Amino acid sequence: MSSDMRSGVLVITHGATLDGVVEQVRAAAQAGVGTAWLPQVLGSDALTTLAVTGREVPGIQLGTAVVPTYPRHPLALAGQALTVQSATGGRLTLGIGPSHRATIEGAYGHSYDRPLRHVREYLLALAPLLRGESVEYRGETLTAVGALDVPGATPPSLVLAALGPAMLRLAGEQTDGTVTQFTGPRTIADHVVPTVTRAASRSGRPGPRVVVGLAVCVTNDRSARRESLGNVYAAVGTGAEPSYRAMLDREGVATAVDVAIIGDETTVERELRRFADAGATEFVATLFGTDQENARSLELIASFG
């Protein structure tokens, strides 16, 4: 099937060795999936892993979804990202985001005061560095002065995790687009795409990337998969993550399971088509079924290009 929406998978890194990650990316590449994305959580470093994995698995595009900004200075993150670009022949999309108050304040001890201001200043330092330019930026929340020397590196694509209107406008103004999570097709069509597209147009930037991430399972036992996913997503949309709750409310659903795509091939294909019609440029599937179900899901996801 042909589609203007590219396909991707979110690699499961929890409990996976580096060799295990490489095998997941290799399976995605062999299936014809366009991009393998890695999350950045408390554990293996996503960018380091991508540098190694990209050398092992040629061809497939690579991305982070997403690296939290607060714990990494723009000079440090830009150096990491450009190193991955050099190592992988320019296949990286650098996805970044401010994460959530509970993580940034609870785990890292940083203040989460005014995250929009923080991200705006962060991008003003990061984006020029990724383009190979020197920076001398002194803002309210950070200072970045210097230039990077990473031979062989081209500027990676940069996308921002954004859900609310102000952050989406910032994504359109200063980056190549946005990456979402727990966001359904109506919200993509009515909120995300128009907001980020208008901002990009006003800033003279090309049409933005809209990368949609959701759980997908091609299965003959929908109720069992909904139950298992419900256990995993029990805390999503609660008080610790108000931005996700806002997206679920916009979509008119109760839980994160309600925006997951679960069913047989016909059902899953129909739901994926809704996102393509909504204006998503890329779809990133988190696979969560049995090995057989994941193989079916991977085949269907890959058919979107």
Listed residue (256, 283, 250) closest to 179, CA to CA: 283
Structure tokens at 172: 């359109």
Q: By the 8 A CB rule, do 244 and 236 touch?
A: yes
Could you tell me the pLDDT band of residue 3, with boundaries at 50, 70 and 90? low
Q: Where does the chain have alpha helices with state H?
A: 18-31, 46-56, 74-88, 101-106, 115-130, 165-174, 185-187, 193-202, 222-232, 242-251, 265-278, 291-302
Q: What is the pLDDT of residue 2?
A: 43
pLDDT in tens, 67-110: 999 999 999 999 999 999 999 999 999 999 999 898 999 999 99
Q: What is the pLDDT of residue 237?
A: 81
Q: What is the pLDDT of residue 140?
A: 97
Q: Distance between CA atoms of 9 and 303, rounded to whole angstroms? A: 13
Q: What is the pLDDT of residue 1?
A: 44
Pairing of strands 282-287, 157-161: unpaired
pLDDT in tens, 269-283: 999 999 999 999 999
Q: By the 8 A CB rule, do 297 and 9 touch?
A: no
pLDDT in tens, 208-253: 999 999 999 999 999 999 999 999 999 898 877 899 999 999 999 9
Mean pLDDT computed over 198-202: 98
Domain borders along the chain are: 6-302
Structure tokens at 28: 């995605």
Looking at CATH, the fold of the domain delimited by 6-302 is given as TIM Barrel (3.20.20)
Name every residue whose Cβ is closer than 8 Å to that of residue 7 and which is 6 or more positions away in sequence. 32, 33, 34, 35, 282, 283, 285, 301, 302, 303, 304, 305
% of the chain residues with pLDDT over 90: 94
